[in-house]
Amino acid sequence: MSLTQHFISCKDLDREDVESCLQLAQKMDELLTEDTVPEILTDFILATLFFEPSTRTRLSFESAMQRLGGKVISVAQKESSSATKGETVYDSIKVIEHYADIIVMRHSDKDAPQAAIAATDKPVINAGSGADEHPTQALADMYTMHKEKGRIEGLNMVFVGDMKYGRTVHSLVSLLSLFPNNSLTFIAPKALSLPNEYQELLDKRGVSYLASETMDAALHQADVIYMTRIQAERFEKTSEYEKYKGSYILDRATVEQKCKADVTILHPLPRVDELSTDLDELPNAAYFRQAGNAVPMRMAILVKLLGKEDLILT
């Protein structure tokens, strides 16, 4: 499966898929800058279903749809949906497919996207499946690297924080592994290291990577530092989370003393304490631009899945 019907996992994408999304996002960016976005999705309704909290992902999808002239209907949180009454994902989607032409869904269960696509032929986009994947964020991250570094290959990437539960990391690792000469370093407490499944994927694709529990030694060679939040909501006990909270903090002094002058700092946001606010004024701090890049990339994804790509590229 590539990006033709649903978008559930980065493992389904190949290099051409990623490149074509980057090209389309770039075109969207140009149209946004010139204020000339064609309203090509006026006939379509997007349903956003977020069974887990979201600000950026939901709003950037809704903004992307509306900028293209499309309409949006939304169930904001689990509390206000029939999931609280015990409805299955399959049943919810069977109903919602009558109300919308494309569905964006976030759910705590990693298998929820599979249940959704079993229920409908309408395009389903995974906007976060538990601790497993967050594929559209990874495409926005690739687009950010393409803009900030001018390339998505030959990068020395240092990931810091929660490699176990960080779904954005999992999806991004999978995309980076499609391009040559990227070398990856994963900094995490042992208990929060990258799941075997993703290590196996990197092995299979011949990508060089290493893991460490300490951050500072890896920083000097980084082209990109990808900071992440320790994912509090995935721990069974708060005491477990407390053990790891504050494990890694990147601040301005560390970046100025230890990193290459042109290092790019990314974070999918929200940040807790791992990214000091004194970094925000540095040109290297690209995380707010990264959040902005989600709009042209999500516009690209919507247009692709709704089969309107040719209207933008020609």
One residue of 92, 268, 286, 306 binding ligand NCD per CB under 6 A: 268
Residue 167 near ligand NCD by CB under 6 A: yes
One residue of 48, 57, 120, 182 binding ligand NCD per CB under 6 A: 57
Q: Of residues 170-229, which lie at the interface with ligand NCD (CB under 6 A)?
A: 229
Of 57 and 177, the one with the shorter C-beta distance to ligand NCD is: 57
- List C-alpha distances in Å: 303 to 11, 41, 73, 133, 210: 21, 8, 17, 21, 37
Q: Of residues 226-265, which lie at the interface with ligand NCD (CB under 6 A)?
A: 229
Check the CA dihedral 17-144-288-212 and report its sign: positive
Residue 10 near ligand NCD by CB under 6 A: no
Of 123 and 135, the one with the shorter C-beta distance to ligand NCD is: 135
**C-alpha dihedral over 305, 125, 111, 99, to 10 degrees?**
-100
Report the chain's C-alpha Rg in angstroms: 19
Alpha-carbon distance of 230 to 197, in angstroms, equals 20
Of 107 and 167, the one with the shorter C-beta distance to ligand NCD is: 167
Of 119 and 169, the one with the shorter C-beta distance to ligand NCD is: 169
Q: Is 69 left (phi over 0), alpha (psi -120 to 50) or beta?
A: left
Of 208 and 238, the one with the shorter C-beta distance to ligand NCD is: 238
Residue 56 near ligand NCD by CB under 6 A: yes
How many chain residues are in contact with ligand NCD, going by CB under 6 A? 10
Binding mask 96-135 for ligand NCD (x = CB under 6 A): --------------------------------x-----x-
Look-up of token digits 């006026």: 42
Binding mask 13-42 for ligand NCD (x = CB under 6 A): ------------------------------
How many Cβ atoms from other residues are within 10 Å of residue 156's Cβ? 18
Q: Could you list the active site residues? A: 56-57, 85, 106, 134
Displacement of CA 239 from its chain's centroid (Å): 28
How many Cβ atoms from other residues are within 10 Å of residue 147's Cβ? 18
Check the CA dihedral 234-134-125-136 and report its sign: positive
- Binning the chain into helix, strand and coil, the percentages to the nearest 5 are 45, 15, 40
Of 120 and 137, the one with the shorter C-beta distance to ligand NCD is: 137
One residue of 137, 156, 174, 293 binding ligand NCD per CB under 6 A: 137
Q: Of residues 269-298, which lie at the interface with ligand NCD (CB under 6 A)?
A: 269
Q: Please, what is the minimum distance in Å from the beta carbon of residue 176 to ligand NCD?
A: 17
Nearest to residue 304, comparing CAs of 18, 11, 15? 18
Residue type for position 177: S
How many Cβ atoms from other residues are within 10 Å of residue 25's Cβ? 26
Of 73 and 272, the one with the shorter C-beta distance to ligand NCD is: 272
Q: Please, what is the minimum distance in Å from the beta carbon of residue 57 to ligand NCD?
A: 4
One residue of 144, 168, 174, 247 binding ligand NCD per CB under 6 A: 168
Q: Which residues bind ligand NCD (CB under 6 A)?
A: 56-57, 128, 134, 137, 167-168, 229, 268-269
